Amino acid sequence: MDMLAFLREKNPGLPLYSVHDPAFAPYGRVLPLTDPASLRAAMAQTRIPETGNSYVASDPALEATADVRRLADTVYGGMAVQTGCCNGRGFTLNAEEYHKCSEVNYSTTGLVLLLALPSNVRDRKLDASAVVGFYLPPETLVEIHPLVLHFAPCRVSPEGFNCLVVLTRGTNAPLERVDPRAPGEEGLLWMRNKWLLCHKDSPQAQKGAFVGITGENLTLSIE
Q: Is residue 57 within 8 Å of residue 172, measured between CB atoms?
A: yes
SS (H, E, C) 180-214: CCCCHHHHHEEECCEEEEEECCCHHHHCCCCEEEE
Tens of pLDDT, residues 160-202:
999 999 999 999 999 999 999 999 999 999 999 999 999 999 9
According to CATH, what is the number of the domain 3-172?
2.60.120.480
- The pairs formed by 17-24 with CB atoms below 8 angstroms and a separation of 24 or more are 17/132, 17/133, 17/134, 17/135, 18/134, 18/135, 18/137, 19/113, 19/134, 19/135, 19/136, 19/137, 19/140, 19/142, 20/137, 20/140, 21/134, 23/132, 23/134, 24/134, 24/142
From 184, 183, 188, 179, select the one nearest 211 (Cα to Cα): 188
Q: Is this structure's pTM higher than 0.95?
A: yes
Task: For residues 39 and 53, give the distance between their C-alpha atoms in angstroms, rounded to a whole number.
Answer: 21
Tens of pLDDT, residues 79-116:
999 999 999 999 999 999 999 999 999 999 999 999 99
